[in-house]
Every structure is written in structure tokens, then in C-alpha cells.
């Protein structure tokens, strides 16, 4: 029998109409280099006093069932939308007047009430096995951008169940555009209204974003071992770590840290090839974040290209004046997600 080769792994997905009701996949996920999947089941061994000197007797009891999928790889302007829809909520695209059309989507957590992520049925596996994971949503994700590299990400999906299945056949592999690390720009401003006005001119060597916990399961006693729904797991607090080569600007940030001053960050990645011209509109991924610096790191050991570096962590906070914490804007050529 053939053995399972890692190169044969893939993930396919399709968005659901009803959470947890399986649908056929409509797209092969692109630009992945990390695929992992497993059941998220809760099992209990039977431990009882029955005259035997053993820890447990008989089969284990299955108390709950679910599925877990981890995907990782290259951030792309097209496939990033899958994570945004399944990690925050559905965003209706706004079309411009160009040719071909550029579509803008804005993802902003409501914060005053639970949002509902757009659930998907994932199909994961390889040449020798395949499973479907209905009711999938993004529980958390991270991305990093290092010098002269690609923007890389990892996302953790939770799913209602894990069911042995076969892959949806005859899907076309799509062409996507990877977001280069060097194309990020960062601005740090003093108010939500002024975001993007003060670009960082210091040398950044790394950007790391962490969504924090997004969503988790709702469980009830209802005659099934699978979860019954999705709920916002906790108060959201995304964070960004910006690593600077030490200079006068980082000293100014230290003054703001000592004063407890809220900072307003814009991370913006603009693709090199325009969707359309006159005027040129480029594929874009943009993160806006109101944040506080809650700790100051050690300085004196970490270096990049011979220069001292300092990683400064910005924790997301609610900005009362702008009534916001996080806003994500995507511009792509996709009217709908395949």
C-alpha cells in the first residue's frame, strides 16, 4: 500500500448557509505550507473500585466530539479573505468604477455584541485519507513579516465535527499573489482620526500580529456529543509587536510608554501590481489598531545587521473617541470568494 506523503496534503473549503451543515468545497486553499488536523474529542477512562489493581477498566467513554485544523503559509491578497470572513464576520464588498473592478471589504469587530463568523466546511487530508470538518471557524491567527521575506501566517480552526469523507472533485487550483514583507508600511499616530499621517521612518526589522482569542464553542445537553454553536470566547485584545533598530524615535516611544499614552497603528501592505489604472488601485491589506504599550523590553542583546533592536508590544485597546479598537481593510479583485 502507498504511504502518506506530506506533499499530498491539501485543504479545500466552502462557506456554509447554516452553521455545521456540511457543504461541498468550492475552492482549494492556496499558498499553504503547514496543514495539520485532528479530532478535538473529550474522552474519559472508566476509573472505578471493582477489586482490580488497575487504573481503568473497559472502553473509554466519548464525552464530546469536534474537529481541529491548523493551516499556515503565505499571506495572499486573495485568500486572506477566507480568514477574515471565518474569523470576524461577513463583509459586503464595495465596488469601485475601475476596470477590472476593485472590491473593498472592511472587517471591524462590533465589541458591544457578539459577532458571527461565516462558517465553512473544511476538507483536509492527503492522498490516502480525507476528512470533512463542518462548522469551521477561525479561533485565532497570527502573521509575521521579516526583512526580505514573505508575510507568513498560521490560523487555528475549530469545527463542529471531524468526519471521514472524500475530497470534492474537479476544483481548479487558483493563482494568488503573496504579500511581500518589504511592502508593509507602518504609521504610528496620536488619534484614530489621524491614522496614517505619521509613517515610521525608523528601520523596522519585523512585524508580528496576533489576533488573540476570537471565537469558541457553545455546548449544551441536547442529545448530541458535538457543540451546538459558536460564541465570542472572550474580550478581544489583538496585539502587534514591532521590532525597531534602536534610534531616537524609539526613545520617543519610551516617553509615551512612561506616560501611558495610547498609540494608533496602521499596518498597510500594498501589492506591486495594480488591479486597474487611472487611478491606480492596488491589492491591499490594512490593519488599524488603537493600542497601549504595557511593558518595555530588555535592550542590549538582540541585533539585526549589526544594529541593536528593540521589540515593542502594542496591546489593542478600545478608543472611546473613535469607538473602535481594530479595523481591517482588504482590497482585491474578488467580487465573491470562490
Q: Are 206 and 297 in contact (CB under 8 A)?
A: no
Name, in order, each residue with C-beta under 8 angstroms of 78's C-beta and a sequence gap of 6 or more. Answer: 30, 174, 176, 177, 332, 333, 334
The pTM for the full model equals 0.95
Residue 152's pLDDT is: 98
Per-residue pLDDT of the chain (338 residues; tens, 9 = 90+): 567 888 999 999 999 999 999 999 999 999 999 999 999 999 999 988 889 999 888 899 999 999 999 999 999 999 999 999 999 999 999 999 999 999 999 999 988 888 999 999 999 999 999 999 999 999 999 999 999 999 999 999 999 999 999 999 999 999 999 999 999 999 999 999 999 999 999 999 999 999 999 999 999 999 999 999 999 877 889 999 999 999 988 999 999 999 999 999 999 999 999 999 999 999 999 999 999 999 999 998 899 999 999 999 999 999 988 888 999 999 999 999 98
Report CA 54 to chain centroid distance, whole Å: 45
Dihedral of CA atoms 85, 25, 275, 287 in degrees, nearest 10, equals 20
pLDDT confidence of residue 232? 84
Tell me, what DSSP letter sits at residue 249?
H
Classify 216 as helix, strand or coil.
strand
What's the start-to-end Cα distance of the chain, in Å? 35
Alpha helices by DSSP H, 142-197: none
DSSP letters, 269-333, are EE-SS-SBTTTTB--EEEEEEEEE-------SS-EETTEEEEEEEEEE--BTTTTBSEEEEEEES
Q: What pLDDT sits at residue 111?
A: 85
According to the model, what pLDDT value does residue 114 have? 86
Residue 254 confidence (pLDDT):
95
| pLDDT at residue number 25 | 98
Q: Is the peptide bond before 279 cis (omega within 30 degrees of 0)?
A: yes
Residue 1 has what pLDDT? 59
Amino acid at each position: 500500500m502507498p504511504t502518506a506523503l506530506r506533499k499530498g496534503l491539501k485543504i479545500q473549503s466552502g462557506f456554509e448557509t447554516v452553521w455545521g451543515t456540511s457543504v461541498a468545497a468550492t475552492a482549494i486553499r492556496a499558498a499553504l505550507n503547514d496543514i495539520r488536523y485532528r479530532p478535538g474529542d473529550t474522552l474519559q477512562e472508566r476509573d472505578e473500585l471493582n477489586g482490580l489493581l488497575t487504573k481503568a477498566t473497559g472502553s473509554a467513554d466519548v464525552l464530546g466530539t469536534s474537529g481541529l485544523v491548523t493551516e499556515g503559509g503565505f499571506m495572499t491578497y486573495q485568500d486572506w479573505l477566507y480568514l477574515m470572513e471565518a474569523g470576524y464576520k461577513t463583509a459586503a464588498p464595495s465596488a469601485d468604477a475601475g476596470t477590472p473592478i476593485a472590491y473593498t471589504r472592511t472587517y471591524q469587530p462590533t465589541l458591544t455584541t457578539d459577532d458571527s463568523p461565516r462558517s465553512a466546511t473544511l476538507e483536509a487530508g492527503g492522498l490516502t485519507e480525507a476528512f470533512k470538518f463542518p462548522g469551521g471557524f477561525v479561533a485565532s491567527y497570527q502573521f509575521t513579516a521579516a526583512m526580505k521575506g514573505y508575510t507568513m501566517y498560521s490560523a487555528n480552526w475549530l469545527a463542529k465535527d471531524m468526519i471521514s469523507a472524500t475530497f470534492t472533485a474537479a476544483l481548479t487550483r487558483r493563482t494568488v499573489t503573496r504579500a511581500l514583507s518589504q511592502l508593509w508600511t507602518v504609521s504610528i499616530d496620536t488619534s484614530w482620526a489621524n491614522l496614517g499621517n505619521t509613517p515610521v521612518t525608523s528601520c523596522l526589522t519585523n512585524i508580528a500580529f496576533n489576533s488573540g482569542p476570537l471565537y469558541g464553542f457553545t455546548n449544551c445537553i441536547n442529545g448530541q456529543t458535538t457543540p451546538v454553536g459558536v460564541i465570542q470566547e472572550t474580550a478581544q485584545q489583538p496585539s502587534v509587536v514591532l521590532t525597531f533598530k534602536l534610534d531616537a524615535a524609539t526613545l520617543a516611544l519610551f516617553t509615551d510608554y512612561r506616560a501611558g499614552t495610547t498609540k494608533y497603528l496602521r499596518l498597510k501592505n500594498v501589492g506591486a501590481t495594480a488591479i486597474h489604472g487611472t487611478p491606480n488601485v492596488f491589492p491591499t491589506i490594512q490593519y488599524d489598531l488603537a493600542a497601549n504599550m504595557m511593558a518595555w523590553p530588555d535592550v542590549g542583546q538582540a541585533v539585526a545587521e549589526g544594529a541593536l533592536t528593540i521589540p515593542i508590544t502594542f496591546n489593542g485597546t478600545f478608543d472611546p473617541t473613535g469607538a473602535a479598537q481594530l479595523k481591517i481593510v482588504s482590497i482585491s479583485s474578488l467580487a465573491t470568494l470562490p
